[in-house]
Structure 1
């Protein structure tokens, strides 16, 4: 009987160990899946290695266990519905809430228990980033060596070219001297008499061929006047102008790759006369939680460290302390370099074009440029901004350029307002210009009146 009981107890112990082992194996999460879930749900407020809106989550399981003697069940409850956990009177949950300025964490009831286990596994054992291959370093050294060799060759080639040019110059001088000597030897009395009748100066030549000279001078004067006129007409036209800005901002990354709408930053373009430069607070709407560049696109010659440094310039300008997640109150205004600037005597209203003329401008542009169609009205004037790393002036922005647009852009007469407001004008123009087939362009409704743009 005693022997049977001993074996029975041993069996229970073995079964208990087996169950606990099985439980621990079952609790083991998938770090790779956890990384995906973490990036999709958590990175807006958390990072593994530093505090953002919420605390750093690297090693959070061990930290909670060591400091608070709480297991992963508590973390599951917190992630699922932290508000309910706080409402239950949980001391640690309420301490965290108070510590982080009573910013309520988003509950994640959509995450399964296994999903949360995977996320916690990722915070405890994040996959190590792949180490750069050894041959990459070797390739860098080889490239450096090749560059040095190329520089030496270029230097040597430059010296050879200079010596060759000097030798050619010396040879030409020698040939000129010899030719002069030969001319003197062949000089005769007959040639001397002939030379006496020849023009030997510009004034003699001008007297002999005065009519030809006057004609040439007249042509030169005409060409000079045209050149000066053409130069004057292009004063203030800076197509292609793209100045360096105090903070590097890539529209290709923001508007192109990340698909951020133009009007999210330039909101006044739709409702105001001027499309304002966004304030730094607009930048901080996103970059409060984006402290480093995580994209895969890199402009040639620039790396992650470059983009991270530019984000730090935003923090310096706004006085944002990323470590404490609060503003210091010390700001440094950014002196942006303006690219587009209408003269004071020109009236241009962005909202009129962005709202009233949006579809008409897009349709007109796409009709004239079938190979470079646009989907946003801004691109008609400012070019394909979503492909520009550095924004540049894409068009002339001259009076002639604006007039040409007004003459070719058709007014949308199916628009309820236009259909009613321009009804009589529409009927009149259809009779007056039957060849237009009822189409009305902007110039027909006052788009060429001087007072529209100059007042």
Structure 2
């Protein structure tokens, strides 16, 4: 009895030690799932798991620092929290890494707790397997396979029905021909021989009607030619393919990137120029593959990754060495919006001075299709376009109509001061709608404003 109790106590002690050891191991190793969230939030700007970005790949970093520098997790905790202080302390391995990666200083993360860092390191040691996602194409293919027998049956029924209708029509035509032959008497045959058979005879008989028809046709032809000429250069709906696929829906729509981050000249200059490839590389230097949730129908991750590689080829960026090679390839973009040489249009005037006035006017005229950015008034809802297209006519009449209906914002600092002495005069001159002043009242219809 005493022996049994002794072994029982030993067993309990052993189980307790095992549980405590397991708990301590788990606490030390961390939670990979939480580590994945922390990694994506704090590390992906400079690091990836399996390839070099700005910094080295971090998969297996715990084993790597142990092998290379003979250091462990405690060292990694110090490095992540404040690598600058660690280097200043004279740590040999820390300074070696700093020199190895071109003296690129890593950010400090004093906000991360010890557990947070353990979770991140657990993720780099044993990243969770990615969940399989069913693509729309696969789902559609399954549905198509399931529905294929029913589709074949329906197709056969339609073909048989059409053949039956065609046979019935042929039979009706034959019967009608027989009835016509039976009903044609000798008197009717003689009358057919006396009918007018030449065009000249018909014209002589009905020349007044003929001249009237010719006049109408001439007017219609003239109108058609005039209408065709008037629409030369109007390319609403034009959306050419570009040498590098760029989806505004992904960038401006899904990722909420401000238009002026790329098209900065629209706010400060006449032309909203095409951004240089260096602007693309501000982000894509660290984004070498597409991991977004949205995908355009017919496109997959491999397609988007391939387009990013085209950016690297154009700029001469080597993602493996994280440096430029100096070998660039100019990108021949196809221009979509292009004003004629005889038209002056200043983007900054509309984007800065007219921003709120244009937005208010557009939303008033389109209550069910409101906009939040001034660019959309002319270029359409660009944040929903995978391929950019010309959303409006961009004719002179279209511009004039906008100037006639857009109310000037007299409360902004510029207009309030500049038109200080003109307010009363303009209100008397334009008393409609309680003295509201539209762009045409301040020179918006003057020829010299746009044609110089």
TM-score, normalised with respect to structure 2: 0.88
Moved more, 304-313 or 280-289: 304-313
Tell me if 1:415 matches 2:412.
Answer: yes
Matches within 5 A, 1:114-263: 114-131=115-132, 143=144, 178=178, 181-182=181-182, 186-188=184-186, 190-263=187-260
Q: Conserved in 1, the CA contact under 8 Å of 2:430 and 2:437?
A: no
Instruction: Kindly tell me the number of residue pairs found equivalent between the two proteins.
Output: 438
Instruction: Name the counterpart of 2:33.
Output: 32
Tell me if 1:273 matches 2:270.
Answer: yes
Instruction: Name the counterpart of 2:384.
Output: 387
Instruction: Name the counterpart of 1:68.
Output: 69
With over 3 angstroms needed to count, the CA separation of the structure-2 counterparts of 1:272 and 1:103, relative to structure 1, is: same
Instruction: Name the counterpart of 1:313.
Output: 310
Measure the CA separation in 1 of the matches of 2:253 and 2:436: 35
1:305-340 CA distance string (max 9 Å, x none): 111111111111111111110111111111111110
Moved more, 276-285 or 169-178: 169-178
With over 3 angstroms needed to count, the CA separation of the structure-2 counterparts of 1:110 and 1:397, relative to structure 1, is: same
Matches within 5 A, 1:341-360: 341-360=338-357
With over 3 angstroms needed to count, the CA separation of the structure-2 counterparts of 1:158 and 1:192, relative to structure 1, is: closer
The DSSP-based 3-state class of the residue aligned with 2:435 is: coil
Tell me if 1:427 matches 2:424.
Answer: yes
Tell me if 1:362 matches 2:359.
Answer: yes
Residue segments in structure 1 that go unaligned for 5+ positions in a row: 1-9
1:247-287 CA distance string (max 9 Å, x none): 11111111011110000000000011100000111000000
Measure the CA separation in 1 of the matches of 2:355 and 2:140: 52
With over 3 angstroms needed to count, the CA separation of the structure-2 counterparts of 1:370 and 1:131, relative to structure 1, is: closer
With over 3 angstroms needed to count, the CA separation of the structure-2 counterparts of 1:416 and 1:69, relative to structure 1, is: closer
Q: Conserved in 2, the CA contact under 8 Å of 1:30 and 1:122?
A: yes
Tell me if 1:404 matches 2:405.
Answer: no
Measure the CA separation in 1 of the matches of 2:98 and 2:153: 65
Measure the CA separation in 1 of the matches of 2:276 and 2:391: 24
Instruction: Name the counterpart of 1:449.
Output: 446
Moved more, 326-335 or 198-207: 198-207
Q: Conserved in 2, the CA contact under 8 Å of 1:199 and 1:205?
A: yes
Q: CA deviation at 1:204?
A: 2.1
The DSSP-based 3-state class of the residue aligned with 1:214 is: helix
Q: Conserved in 1, the CA contact under 8 Å of 2:248 and 2:387?
A: yes
Moved more, 264-273 or 157-166: 157-166
Residue segments in structure 2 that go unaligned for 5+ positions in a row: 1-9
Measure the CA separation in 2 of the matches of 1:211 and 1:244: 54
Q: CA deviation at 1:438?
A: 2.1
Moved more, 201-210 or 444-453: 201-210
Q: Conserved in 2, the CA contact under 8 Å of 1:426 and 1:438?
A: no
Instruction: Name the counterpart of 2:281.
Output: 284
Q: CA deviation at 1:375?
A: 1.1
- Give 1:438's match in structure 2, choosing from 408, 425, 435: 435
Q: CA deviation at 1:203?
A: 2.5
Q: Conserved in 2, the CA contact under 8 Å of 1:430 and 1:436?
A: no
1:212-258 CA distance string (max 9 Å, x none): 22222222222222122111111111111111111111111110111
Q: CA deviation at 1:22?
A: 5.4
